[in-house]
Structure 1
Amino acid sequence: MGYRGMRGALLSTTVMLGLTGVALAQTVAANDDADSLQEIIVTGSRIRRPEAATAAPVTVIDQQSFLDRGYVQAGQALNQMTSNVPAMPQAKGDGTAAGGGQTFPNLLGLGAGRTLTLVDGRRFVASSTGLDSPTVDTNILPTGLIKKIEVVQGGGAAVYGSDAIAGVVNYILKDDFEGFTFDTQNGASTRGDYPQNSVRATYGHNFGNKRGNIAVDAEWSRTEPLLDKDRPSSNLAYTTASNPADTGPNDGISALRPVLDTHFWEFNNNGVIFTTPAPVSAFLLKSGGTPQQFTSGGALTAYNPGTLAGVPFASGGDGESYRNLATLYTGVERANANIIGHYDITDHLKLSGSLLFAQTTGSDPYGNSASNTVLNSPATGSGYIAFTRNNAFLTADTVAALSAASPTFRNGGPLFLSKFWDDLLPTREIKTTTDTTRVQVGLDGDFDLLDRNFYWSVSPSRGITDGRIRGWGVYTAHFNNAVNAVKNASGTIVCAINADASTANDDPGCAPLNPFGTGNVSQAAQAYVTRPSGQDILNTQDDVLATIGSDLFHAPAGAVKFNLAYEYRREKASFSPLAADQDGVLGSGVATVATSGQYHTNELSGEVLVPLLGKDFTLPLVQNLEFNGAYRLVENSAAGRENVWSAGLRWEVVSDLTLRASRSRNFRAPTLNQLFAPSSSALGPIAQDPCDADRINSGPNPAVRRANCQALFAAHPSYGPLAGFQDPAENFNTALVTTGGNADLKNEISNTTSFGFILQPHFVPGLTIIADRIQINLQNGLSAFAPQDFLATCFDTPGMPSDVCGRFSRDSTGAVTAADSTTFNAGSVRYRGETYNVDYAFDLQDVLGEGGWGALDLSVQATHTSLLETSVTGFDLTRTDGTTAQPSWVTRFDMRYVRGPLRLTYSLYYLPEEPVSRYSTIENTPYPVVGANAQHSISAQYDFGDYAVRAGIVNLTDEQPSYPTRNYGDILGRQFFVGFSAHY
């Protein structure tokens, strides 16, 4: 295609942004008569309008981007958008699991639950626990049928309903595919790991004299897990510890120092021995001044705790390596099968339908762990193991060595074993399997009435997500029985409960467990002390959407258009823990309660598009001016009534320049879990009491906090003097903490303002410049409140509101004895930022002269975040903009060259130098600022008629995350892919 053909295509559809196929829907028409353009529905509205005439900044990702970058699922493409905070199944490096392998869009960094996902403009059943945020895993979408992905940033609730706060992601599928396409791709990192393989086949056929079409798509892909030791950045095992060289707050010396090759000096696989069950190095059992540990076979040997860095870390030594704590990347296997089709019953009536089945399995090899260490209390189920000389698994030589080192042990007293189990659980893997089924039927048509053409649709759908999470846990009571082993009268090793004088505590199934060393756990003992742990999740969504639209009347500037919609939606979800979890026999013994719930909504919405000026009715510097508005009324059986709206203006100043602005009110409804989670209670600490002597003069308004505490203590003389008050519930498990849902929750509300421009100067053909400012203020946010949040909000609020202060109680001494932990409407978010897109597409013959040089497309996409301020309580304001969590700028440059069958691409993804947090200084962290990070990628594709081959390298220079982070950049490093496709 030459430049002029390319220019026409870009203007009549979208303006392409670079090699990845990212584009923005434009307001600039290729033809002065906008009515001559085909009318379609663009994401952000249900009104049919000329394709080039949308006021909303719609970013478009086409299918070619998947081929250029070797993407095997849609989330990889979304993660390259500069306004989307990348989300991959990656561990944080703090011991938490890498997750189930699911990937969710997170526009503007406001949280995945505030981005609404649609498929062909319709809601989709949640992939996560339906009791929580109704997010949709990108793994389940059929990449072979994706025509394009349209993304609207900033709002959308007036058109689509709940959750559209940060924006909307709409996957648009091919509805008229004909032929057969086969595609396969293989890739891996250049380190020889993290293989990524995919196969897909798509077949489509027209029938009924082309009145009907049916397409079938089947695809499979798999990526393997990645461990911490597999990458330089994570293999460093970086953490921080207190710096003894620090002399004060203004000495230029960090209060923390870096620790590399981090180990836990308190425990390892074989077992570290303590004389007193506390993480104090002086309590390590020593023989001749040398700390002792067990060998793998259960004998004693010297133990090197490494260079201690406080509790719990050391650098080097024989302790458990920090690298073994968690998986770096979850492995994901996905299989999808889809059928989509339609049939034109008449010229004015179309029947359509789709059926999707997807199975996604995430594998986290280190998702489970079992430990018994001096860092934990025995009440948690993972505390130290006390043993005496009577333990039958100790050899005579070992008893003698221990007795020589410890007179207490020699005299029958206990020593304390601290270990991390490698062989207690059948496997450390947590496997998450999600089956998604969705069937959707649509009836679309149009009719003429009163000299107008009305278009309408009715579309019912049902989606079901069946999820299973499987792992293993330790049956605490059985463990305690099995680890206390003795020899009976015949010399056989048995559980002590079966050899004592009492028969009331006998357990015939008890199999003795050898805790000394590694590889000494018998199959019988393992079967006795472990149980399957996990949960089953079932989400069901029933949705019926009906719409009708037309032209109201024709004004001088054009037709006034409208659309009305009614939507009924029912969401049901259940959460069923496995038997051991429900019985509360694992870990600390707290039962996990089965939960279920449902709600339904009735929603009415209307939109209007009003051309104010245009065609022959214009003014100087006003070629076109139009207003679009939307309103939605929602009746939610759980959260009540809500009204949301949007209003926008699109002003075409001249043919080269269009201005646009919008204002909207959006909402997110509370989830089933937030509303109806069953209550469970357990003793725990409250973390912080605002009336403590060391905190009473803190908080956002110390005078308010102090006055409220004084009033409380004056009303309760038994509390004693306020001066010097210390609440024991801060540090000890003395408060009864009740966790559960909150049936009084309301919707969270956001107000969004956006304005921007589109510039396509006629004197620089092929150049498009787009900029939009987005401002979001969210109030009444759905926040997870812990006891300390209720306490802080109570005492930091004038008048001490009863709905907050009633969530905890004190005894006669003033100590907190009971408190709630639940979701509460108190959070807030403020976002300020801009998105920028520049694209320059031209034919090289215009520069180099005749000769068929091909076409070049250069583009820049950037997102600037000037403010992201969040609060859980409404008082604890935290800014993350301008940090590694939310960089001030994220920039991407793309270059695409096309000449006949050859296609070459280059991409740069750039993150600037940023502080770790807005409060980072050399005084509180050894590396307060993290260096910039640049990722370069290249690819090539060549078409041989019905066949095409492609290859690419991602992260060409093997750029690792900026030190010392593990996620500010691409920790996977350099990767390559090779693909082949055939189309008949």
Structure 2
Amino acid sequence: MKKNALLLSSTCFAVLFAAPAFAQEANTTGGPVAETTANADTASTDEGSIVVTGSRISRPNIAAAAPITSVTSESIRAQAAVNIEEVLNRIPMIAPDSQQNYQDSDGRQRIKLRNLGFERTLVLVDGKRLGTQNGLDANMIPTSLIKRVDVLTGGASAVYGSDAIAGVVNFILDDNFEGIQLNGNYNFYAHENKPTIVSETARQYGFAQPRTGSAFDGGRVDLSLTAGTKLFDDRFHVSGYVNYRKADLVPYSARETSSCELQQTVKDGPLSCTVSTYTPNGYISPRIPGTPGTGGLPGTAPQYVNNPDGTRTFLPYSDAYAANPFDGLAFQRENERWNAGGFASFEISDAVEVYANAMWFRDESTNPYPARVLSSTAYAPGTTPYTINCNNPFMSAAQAQIVCGAAAGTGGTVPIEVRARFDNVPAINDSYLNQGVRVSGGLRGDFAQGWSYDVGGVYSYNKMDTTWGRPDFNRVNNALNVVNNNGTISCVNDVANGCVPFDPFSSNSAVNNTALFNYLTEGNFGTSTTENRLYNVIATVQGDLGTYGIQSPWAEEGVAIAIGAEFREDQLEGYADPIWRARNGGTDQSLSQHVWEGNVELQVPIAQHKPFADLLQVNGAYRLSKYSSNPDTFSTWKAEALWAPIPDITFRGSINRAQRAPTVVEAFQGSNISYNRIVPSFGDFCAPTVTFTTGANGQQVPVYGSPIASREVCAATGLADSLYGSQTLLCPTDIGCTTRSGGFTVDPETAYTKTFGLILKPRFLPGLVVSVDRFMIDLDDSIGYNDYSYFSNGCLATGSAFFCDAFVRNPDGTLTSNPTGNPATGYIRQGTTNYYKSKSHGWDFQGQYALPLGGAGRLDFDFSGSLTTLAGGQDSPALPEKNCVGYYGGAGCGQLIPKWSHNLRGTYTTQDRFFSASLNWRHLGPLTNVTNSGDPTLGWTQAGERATFNRIEAFDYFDLALSFRVNDGFSFRIAANNILDKTPPLFPNSYNVGSLSRTNTINSRYDSLGRQIAFGTTINF
């Protein structure tokens, strides 16, 4: 017996402190969280209803058959989190996302479980949907009101409906608050700037560098006020909150790691910086008609910059005069957000309780870009240059000769290319205004012995205004066309609108020139708006059939059942003002999709507290769905089992058939038919290849060769053998071949998710809970967009019908058609469809241990880790399966998933709970560039292997939090995240590795801004 106990104890500790795995944040104030791993992550308010994640059956103390990770409110405070994304980024199952450190962000925060995409994670608030998949913004949830966050991985569509492919993130809010509470949190970065490979490279270009030494910036504030009370013998409860957040801008130029965008254009070659011709010195490229190399004729037009010495002479353009195009971009985005809301409930009787809650938010953020006089090629059609008058008073005689040639000094005009960068004027911002409201409510109560009901719903509305502008093309031309009137230089045209003369022939003429900037940009900022609405009605009746004797003879509890019906409608409205449409094109949209669903769920305890069966239970659920965008009916289901032979050990397993229906946008893209012309350079690969030779009269004569594709491949596209290589197959040189998007029904994608696990709660070690779970998510018929090249290249490479069926030829074999009349043939298919497979497999590890220290207090340890063994998929039946775990870079591995990552937090709390100290260790496993993967399916070739920047080593971060509970009414906290101020891994071409960041690292994965210091307080009145 002692030998077995020792073996079990050793196993528990080995799993608990096993090396790398990643990221649950746990209770940091000493309260045990073991139950959240072992039991169903249930929570009840002081007197309110029980909230269960993963089930519609609200039975207390039910064991969880699927692994659930929980983050407590105490942990959120210890992390000094200002917004929810910072909390989520440290949960092992969630792919990190950092919208606050992403320069192209639209300001919304979405959640991506298991790296399977934002659209495959269902986000709930107290068991009900937060909003639509297209308009979701998780940052509308106030961190100060979160009691815990439950992360259920694996499919849950049978319980919650569409979108729960990868799992569910359920935010449990404190809706039973009493009193008045003020929470405040302020944090900033305290980073030590020191030389890196980035700053060393940037210095070679003369780019400005941040000051060496300590940098204190990036201040963020989070203030919230919550108040609540109970009336009428505590039967009526009402509470409300208001939350304010603000973050300061940290530009790229503030960090030595982002002082330029590193490039390595040749494998293992020298490093360089991305440079721009938009320099404060001013860029000039003459376009003299009739001169070779200008005006569109063959050759290269001359390129100049204004001499920085102010002599109004030109110097040949080179990188020595180039500018840094990204120094002003946002490393931390400036934003301001208001959240507000309230909760109310009134218990009329046991049979009727009315409940409601509302959440409102308004968030405004910007992505700054340097203000510039843009190239004429930036405007449609891109072939019309600016013009300059040859007697322009800003030109010196020498400059006029270069720009105008023989016309110098005359009143004639010539085309010209002009570029310039404004400095010390407002940035050209992409501005995003996100606002919305979510209202949820209903009736619930008991209506018979053992039976209860909950009838309620959600209305969610999100609106995003995107505003973007640039200098007006005509106003640039107006500002260039100037004359000297008695010593005053003024515009010839548009004087009534305040035209400001532009001097492009002198260095720094645009610097500090706010008047010119305002004239060029006034009235040229357009706005595009997207509105998303969710209407969701849910009715659930649940019963304990044990009340009627329906139970196993070996169980103490009866069979529990829940029966539900649900209606959801998603709506999307998209529109824009005339300025936006003129600049960016597009059309207004009004889209909608609805679904009717019915579901049933069972929990069947078979044996409880019996020999070799302390618990034996099976669960099941089934849901039937009918979408308005599809003529078919679809079903999902789950089957679960738990077996605890003794209280110390529980085995669990589940299998789910989960589905995700297309969003309203995807459904529209799939069904709406549109035609486009492929660029004329594209040719049918079954047509003869064409080269040209010079004939006797000097004309170009075509020479026809063999087709690129084989006869077998062309036959797979439906081409008759007699037409193979026929010149009639050549796409017209003026319009090209035809593509067709839409006209197809997009079916829901289906995932089979399986989890099998073990929970250990040894009685001889009270306070210890360890769980190990194997997860396997296999997604079929995934929904996605593929253009014609996906099918064309795939068909050419494999000859598979999966790709080649996208060729719909005319009877004569051609691929060109007239869109008028919706032709049935003569195109290559593209667009949003169901294509093939994605997979995510791995192991999750969790462990908690609460160690009492007698009168000295207590120690709490919390460990959460993840070993990912497969993350990738298969793009078609003809292509091999690829596995991106542990790799980054390349076209197919944007997931950036280390094999191992973990979080281990230890917390000491004094006996009187006056003081607690928490140290957290975050480990991120190494990543290897796909070029060195040795795997051809990831694009590896022996010739492509790199000797430099081929690996990111493992990273370890340490976070420290100190908390002081002065009394019941006042506590304060001090925290430091990344206390060692570790510099993130740096590598060139970072924008291409899946992070879409120009900061030379992976912002979402690593602490890229350095050490973060935080101060927080909670005051109860």
Q: Give the TM-score normalised by structure 1.
A: 0.81
Q: Shift of the alpha carbon at 1:596?
A: 1.2
**Paired position in structure 1 for 2:502:** 514
**CA distance, structure 1, for counterparts of residue 811 and residue 306 of structure 2:** 46
Supply the AA of the counterpart residue of 2:887: T
The question of 1:766 aligning with 2:767 is answered: yes
| CA-CA distance at 1:76 after TM superposition | 1.5
Alignment of 1:889 onto 2:900:
yes
When residues 800 and 113 of structure 1 are mapped into structure 2, their CA distance, relative to the original with a 3 A threshold, is closer
Question: Partners in 1 of 2:688 and 2:105 — Cα distance?
Answer: 38
Output the amino acid matched with 1:119: V
CA distance in 2, matches of 1:716, 1:511: 62
Measure, in 1, the Cα distance between the counterparts of 2:844 and 2:370. Answer: 38
Which deviations, in whole Å up to 9, do the C-alpha atoms of 1:950-975 show, x marking residues without a partner? Answer: 11111101112212241141112111
Q: What does residue 841 of structure 2 align with? A: 832
The equivalent residue for 2:1001 is: 966
Query: Superposed, which structure 2 residues align to 1:516-915 within 5 Å?
Result: 516=504, 517-519=509-511, 523=516, 526-527=519-520, 531-552=524-545, 553-556=550-553, 557=555, 558-582=557-581, 585-586=582-583, 591-616=585-610, 618=611, 620=612, 622-640=613-631, 641-676=633-668, 685=679, 691=685, 706=713, 708=715, 712=719, 714-716=721-723, 719-720=726-727, 735=736, 744-795=745-796, 796=798, 798-799=800-801, 804-806=806-808, 822-845=831-854, 852-870=855-873, 878-884=882-888, 885-899=896-910, 900-915=913-928
CA contact (8 A) 1:689 1:791 kept: no
User: Is 1:158–2:158 an aligned residue pair?
Assistant: yes
Alignment of 1:183-222 (within 5 A): 183-190=183-190, 191-222=215-246
Deviations 1:443-476 (A, max 9, x none): 111132xxx4101111133221122111214555
8 A Cα contact 1:485 1:493, kept in partner: no
Structure 1 residues 922-933: aligned runs within 5 Å: 923-925=944-946, 926-933=948-955
The structural deviation recorded for 1:334 is 1.5
Residue of structure 1 in register with 2:428 after alignment: 428
Contact 1:393-1:485 within 8 A present in 2 as well: no
Contact 2:34 2:767 in 1 (8 A): no
Q: 1:88 to 1:420 in 2, by over 3 A?
A: farther
Deviation at 1:369, TM superposition (A): 6.9
When structure 1 is superposed on structure 2, of 542-551 and 792-801 the one drifting more is: 792-801
Q: What one-letter code is carried by the residue in structure 2 that aligns with 1:334?
A: R
- Matched with 1:80 is 90
3-state DSSP of counterpart to 2:745: coil
Shift of 1:947: 0.5
- Counterpart for residue 169 of structure 1: 169
After TM superposition, give the deviation of residue 749 of structure 1 in Å: 1.2
Count the aligned residue pairs. Answer: 888
The one of 27, 47, 55 equivalent to 2:57 is: 47
2:122 matches 1:116: yes
Distance 1:19 1:872, change over 3 A: farther
1:485 to 2:481 alignment: yes
Q: Is the CA contact (8 Å cut-off) linking 1:686 and 1:788 kept in structure 2?
A: no
1:535-565 deviations in Å (ceiling 9; x for gaps): 1122221111110111231222231111011
Instruction: Please state whether the residue corresponding to 1:615 is helix, strand or coil.
Output: strand
What displacement does 1:656 show?
1.3
Counterpart of 1:33 in structure 2 is none
Query: Counterpart in 2 of 1:979?
Result: 1016
For 2:978 and 2:560, locate their aligned partners in 1 and report how far apart those are by CA, in whole Å. Answer: 48
Q: In the superposition, relative to structure 1, how do residues 680 and 434 fare at CA in structure 2: closer, same or farther (>3 Å)?
A: farther
Q: Distance in 1 between matches of 2:899 and 2:752?
A: 22
Shift of 1:776: 1.1
Of 178-187 and 526-535, the range deviating more from structure 2: 526-535
C-alpha distance 515-781 of structure 1, shift in aligned 2 (>3 A): farther
Deviates more, 1:70-79 or 1:668-677: 668-677
1:320 to 319, 323, 329: 323
- Which residue of the other structure, out of 972, 978, 982, is the alignment partner of 1:949? 972
Q: Secondary structure of 2:218's partner?
A: coil
Q: Retained in 2: the 8 A contact 1:510–1:528?
A: no
Q: Which residue of 2 aligns with 1:12?
A: none
Give the percent of matched residue pairs that are identical in Structure 1 and Structure 2: 23
The residue type equivalent to 1:645 in the other structure is: W
Structure 1 window deviating more from structure 2 (811-820 vs 827-836): it is 811-820
Deviation at 1:835, TM superposition (A): 1.1
Q: Which has the higher contact order (CA 8 A, sep 6+)?
A: 2
Task: Using the TM superposition, give the Cα deviation of residue 186 of structure 1 relative to its aligned residue in structure 2, in angstroms.
Answer: 1.4
How far is the alpha carbon of 1:623 from its aligned partner?
2.7
- Structure 2: 5+ residue runs without aligned partners? 1-23, 41-46, 191-214, 288-292, 690-707, 819-825, 889-895, 988-999
1:147 maps to what in 2? 147
Mapped contact 1:368–1:471 kept (Cα < 8 A): no
| Alpha-carbon contact 2:716-2:804 (below 8 Å) kept | no
Q: TM-score, normalised by structure 2?
A: 0.78
3-state DSSP of counterpart to 1:75: helix
CA contact (8 A) 1:425 1:530 kept: no
Superposed CA offset, 1:609-648 (max 9, x none):
11223234x5x4x332111111111111113421111111
CA distance in 2, matches of 1:424, 1:742: 51
Structure 2: distance between partners of 1:813 and 1:40:
61
Q: What CA deviation, in whole Å up to 9, does each residue of 1:507-534 have, x standing for no partner?
A: 9979587371525685598357862222
Q: CA–CA distance in 1 between the matches of 2:361 and 2:784?
A: 32
SS in 2 for 1:429: strand
Partner of 1:463: 460
Residues 32-86 of structure 1 deviation map (CA, whole Å, 9 limit, x = unaligned): xxxxx99944200011223252212111111111211111222221111021111
Contact residue 794 and residue 805 of structure 1 kept, 8 A: no
1:237-269 CA-to-partner distances (Å, cap 9, x unmatched) read: 212212xxxxxxxxxxxx352524432368676
Change (3 A) 1:837 1:794: same
Instruction: Tell me, in whole angstroms, the C-alpha distance in 2 between the residues paired with 1:38 and 1:555.
Output: 30
Change (3 A) 1:24 1:643: farther
1:256-405 → structure 2 map (5 Å cutoff): 256-264=268-276, 270-273=282-285, 276=293, 283=300, 285=302, 292-293=305-306, 299-302=312-315, 305-306=318-319, 317-324=320-327, 326-366=329-369, 371-372=374-375, 379=380, 381=382, 385=385, 387=387, 390=390, 392=392, 394-400=394-400, 402=402
Answer with 82-91 or 907-916: which moved more: 82-91
Decide whether the 8 Å contact of 1:777 with 1:829 is kept in 2.
yes
Paired residue secondary structure (2:846) = strand
Tell me by how many angstroms 1:600 deviates. 1.5
1:197-225 Cα deviation digits (max 9, x unpaired): 11111111011111121111111111122
Distance in 2, matches of 1:652 and 1:488, equals: 93
Check whether the contact 1:690–1:792 (CA below 8 A) recurs between aligned residues: no
* SS of alignment partner, residue 136 of structure 2: coil
Output one character per residue of 1:824-853: Cα deviation in whole Å (capped at 9) or x when no partner.
2114211111111122221124xxxxxx22
Q: Could you say what secondary structure the match of 1:958 adopts?
A: coil
> Relative to structure 1, is the Cα distance of residues 416 and 772 closer, same or farther in structure 2, using a 3 angstrom cutoff?
farther
| Cα distance, 1:735 vs structure 2 | 4.4
Q: State the alpha-carbon separation in 1 of the partners of residues 571 and 487 from structure 2.
A: 58
**Which one-letter code corresponds to 2:510 in the other structure?**
T
Q: Secondary structure at the match of 2:159?
A: helix
Are 2:109 and 1:103 equivalent residues in the alignment?
yes
Partner of 1:311: none
Partner SS state of residue 581, structure 1 = helix
Contact 1:479 1:529 in 2 (8 A): no
Deviation at 1:357, TM superposition (A): 1.2
Alpha-carbon contact 2:281-2:305 (below 8 Å) kept: no
Q: Aligned letter for 2:760? A: L
> Retained in 2: the 8 A contact 1:482–1:525?
no
